[in-house]
Structure 1
Amino acid sequence: MKKKTKVMTKAIIAGSVILTCSLLLMASGCSSESDEAAAIKVGKSLKMMQYQVQVADIETEIEDISKEQEAKLKVQEAYKPFLTEKGYIAFVANRQSGIASQYARKNKLNTQVKKIKFENMEQDNMEKDTFSFRYSIDIELSPSELTSSRGHSVVTKTGHMTIVKEDNEWKVLKDLDNGFLADE
């Protein structure tokens, strides 16, 4: 009876060790997947915010330069939660916050993101808590109420984005979006 109890205790301990190790391995595997998913979510949110534009939402007549500047600053501030400080400075300097809205306003076309796809480049030299992605975005261009045009079209553009973990949050460090609508 004592022998059976010892064998049973050893089996329970061994089973517990195996179960604990399995759970730890699964958790570490899941965390990297969830980190990648969280990083992609930030990248998608930034691009959706940037390229979902309704012409009706843009002020078509601006009374004076100071109001236009205030509006631009307000729009730029809205992007801050998605970007690192360095990323934000580059984003503003490259005027990325206004690319789609200027295009929409000029052409009287609404832009709507139809599909975003991120591909992890999984580079060997990447630092911890950093992801590098290639992405493609399908953007539907449709006429607004300010134009008589009726045609719809879809453009696909590509880019590259680096997303890092900063203060326990995923943020975009670099976004190179190949000119996007500016070249249309």
Structure 2
Amino acid sequence: MATALQRLLPELRACAVCEPHLPLGAKPIFQLDRRAPILIAGQAPGRVAHEKGRPFDDASGDRLRAWLGVPRETFYDPRCFAIVPMGMCFPGTGKGGDLPPRPECAPLWRDRVLAALPGIRLTLAIGSHALGWHLRRKASVDELVAGWREGLAHGLLPLPHPSPRNQRWLRDRPWFEAEVLPALREEVAQALAVRHHGARKE
């Protein structure tokens, strides 16, 4: 019998709801496996991700993997990490960088996708749009990330975007590297260890 995720995947791949608004056309970028213990909730694929068909395969991804303390092969193992951006297609660029995720995407897909991921133990919400949706409140990235301990108590760790554009934000907030990153790596290691232990028992 097909799982909920297996039934959903063809619909996700074929989605073209936002096609009229997308400069490079519809091309949903995500990574999914129902066994994944960690969900990376990003913003939207960038141009490089659109071209490669793979999320976070750029400088932002290099920094994110360093934050997580995992190699590329673990990061791109869908049994370890589910990667589902708020908008699954590249939205285009504006004066300040990439445009926000298309607003049609999350209401259409997000609840259905998350319901099909029963193994998620830790959610990493990255950037303002993912933070707002997953934490269900409006506040600055600064405020939401500063409250990381409260989020972590509920299995959700708020993070700034790892983009090189955020270098100043990171430099001005040394507490992020000193306090948040060690906790992040510990939580990621624990979630992956539980998955691997469970896989051996299956």
What range is the shorter-chain TM-score in?
A: under 0.3
User: Could you tell me the TM-score, scaled by structure 2's length?
Assistant: 0.24
If asked which structure has higher relative contact order (CA below 8 Å, sep 6+), I would say 2
TM-score by length of structure 1 reads 0.26
Larger CA Rg, structure 1 vs 2: 1
